[in-house]
């Protein structure tokens, strides 16, 4: 296994009592990437919406004090990933504040005496321009000098990696199936280098390398922050099968752990996080969106790509205590300004905000506190009902008293 098979763990889709360590005991996973800070984290992600606030030195120090210091050094936290695919969001404020936020968090770590935790941010391969031939790929104009030049300089100075999310799955077509799934095929020829690529994943990695090398940063380590394949899908998603998921993930793992590297990056290994460790059984959208995991929420394997020790298929599941119903509501001293920010955040995350609009079941009473209460609870209930989902920058509290009123029914 080595030190290169790692996995995403989206706690918001599972019970808060389902933790990775029992699974790690029975598998060869050595690290996981969490989307919320935790004692079990190797990579901690700060949310996209946190970026503007964390540019402030005091806010960054508080974040480190709350999310890193309590677990460090007893937990081997290796890296903070600032947001995810920020450039893809198109949010100008987040994009402009991304590099300053990364610098601010790094400086906060140093002030806290933590010098071995890296800071980076994951990118979609949409950052690339002209990537048909890997050797010709470049960072998109407009992002190259304004965003990537200072970012790559920061990564080099802090010895942090560039993080990318290569997903051949999203380029799937029947004619490209064998090329994408590491099966025998004629390959795709790069006329500039005379290299023939026989799988898309390696071509994507070399495209990223070519793009940053052209900017003078070919020495940076590249981390695969996400890549994977769904095992089940809807009838119109015939590519989503267990067979294809095994083929893609197993062969990708071979590439990143072999030490052979890629044509343009020979003899390299790549720290890689398979998306995902668990199926996300509560995630909205197509069937495929809920079935990227190597394991089900009850810890039973969906399929094995060589990570289960001694071929074990029965992995013990921790007992689940009975949980009383809870609701997430604003603290008594939370300001309207903070609560309005919570409303804006929840609505920006794709939650249904229609109930608080005029004519909606929760429009009355028509005030910020009432509207925020409904939306904060909706967010909490739909993101796994974990205590950490009811924080909202310390403006929220859990209650066992149902806050429903009149026509407004809380989940």
Question: How many angstroms separate the CA atoms of 294 and 277, rounded?
Answer: 5
- Check if the beta carbon of residue 137 is closer than 8 Å to that of residue 210: yes
Establish whether 226 is a catalytic residue. yes
Separation in Å, CA 126 to CA 174, 208, 231, 307: 22, 11, 24, 30
Q: How far apart are the two ends of the chain, measured CA to CA in Å?
A: 43
What sign does the dihedral 299-305-306-312 (CA atoms) show?
positive
Looking at residue 140, what DSSP letter applies? P
Sort strands 188-190 and 162-165 into parallel, antiparallel or unpaired.
unpaired
Taking alpha carbons only, the member of 91, 96, 112, 88 closest to residue 80 is: 112
Q: Is 19 exposed, middle or buried (0-12, 13-18, 19+ CB in 10 A)?
A: middle
Establish whether 85 is a catalytic residue. yes
- Check if the beta carbon of residue 223 is closer than 8 Å to that of residue 272: yes
What's phi and psi for 138, nearest 5 deg? -140, 160
Q: Is 214 exposed, middle or buried (0-12, 13-18, 19+ CB in 10 A)?
A: middle
* Catalytic option among 93, 177, 226, 280: 226
The two three-digit tokens of residue 355, written as one number: 């109930």
What sign does the dihedral 297-303-306-308 (CA atoms) show?
positive
3-state SS, residue 368: helix
Please list the active-site residues: 85, 226
């Amino acid at each position: 296994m080595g030190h290169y098979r790692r996995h995403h763990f989206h706690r918001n889709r599972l019970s808060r009592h389902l933790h990775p360590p029992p699974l790690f005991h029975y598998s060869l996973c050595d690290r996981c990437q969490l989307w919320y800070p935790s004692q079990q984290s190797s990579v901690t992600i700060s949310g996209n919406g946190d970026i503007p606030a964390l540019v402030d030195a005091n806010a960054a120090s508080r974040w480190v004090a709350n999310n890193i210091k309590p677990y460090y050094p007893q937990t081997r936290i290796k890296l903070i990933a600032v947001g995810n695919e920020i450039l893809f969001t198109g949010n100008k404020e987040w994009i402009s504040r991304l590099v300053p936020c990364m610098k601010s968090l790094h400086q906060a770590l140093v002030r806290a005496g933590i010098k071995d935790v890296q800071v980076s941010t994951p990118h979609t391969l949409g950052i690339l321009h002209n990537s048909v031939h890997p050797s010709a790929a470049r960072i998109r104009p407009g992002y190259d000098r304004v965003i990537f030049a200072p970012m790559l300089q920061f990564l080099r100075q802090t010895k942090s990696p560039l993080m990318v999310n290569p997903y051949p799955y999203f380029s799937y077509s029947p004619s490209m199936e064998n090329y994408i799934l590491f099966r025998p095929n004629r390959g795709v020829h790069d006329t500039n280098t005379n290299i023939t690529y026989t799988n898309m994943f390696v071509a994507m990695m070399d495209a990223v390398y070519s793009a940053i090398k052209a900017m003078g940063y070919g020495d940076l380590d590249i981390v695969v922050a996400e890549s994977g394949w769904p095992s089940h899908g809807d009838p119109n998603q015939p590519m989503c099968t267990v067979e294809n998921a095994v083929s893609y993930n197993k062969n990708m793992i071979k590439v990143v752990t072999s030490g052979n590297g890629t044509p343009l990056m020979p003899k390299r290994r790549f720290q890689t996080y398979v998306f995902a460790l668990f199926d996300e059984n509560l995630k909205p959208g197509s069937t495929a969106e809920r079935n990227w995991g190597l394991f089900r929420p009850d810890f039973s394997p969906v399929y094995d790509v060589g990570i289960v020790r001694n071929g074990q298929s029965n992995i013990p599941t921790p007992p689940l205590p009975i949980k009383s119903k809870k609701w997430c509501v604003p603290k008594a001293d939370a300001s309207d300004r903070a609560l309005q920010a919570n409303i804006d955040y929840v609505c920006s995350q794709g939650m249904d905000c229609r109930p608080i609009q005029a004519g909606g079941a929760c429009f009355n009473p028509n005030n910020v506190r009432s509207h925020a209460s409904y939306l904060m609870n909706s967010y909490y209930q739909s993101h796994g009902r974990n205590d950490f989902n009811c924080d909202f920058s310390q403006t929220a509290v859990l209650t066992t008293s149902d806050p429903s009123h009149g026509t407004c029914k809380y989940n």
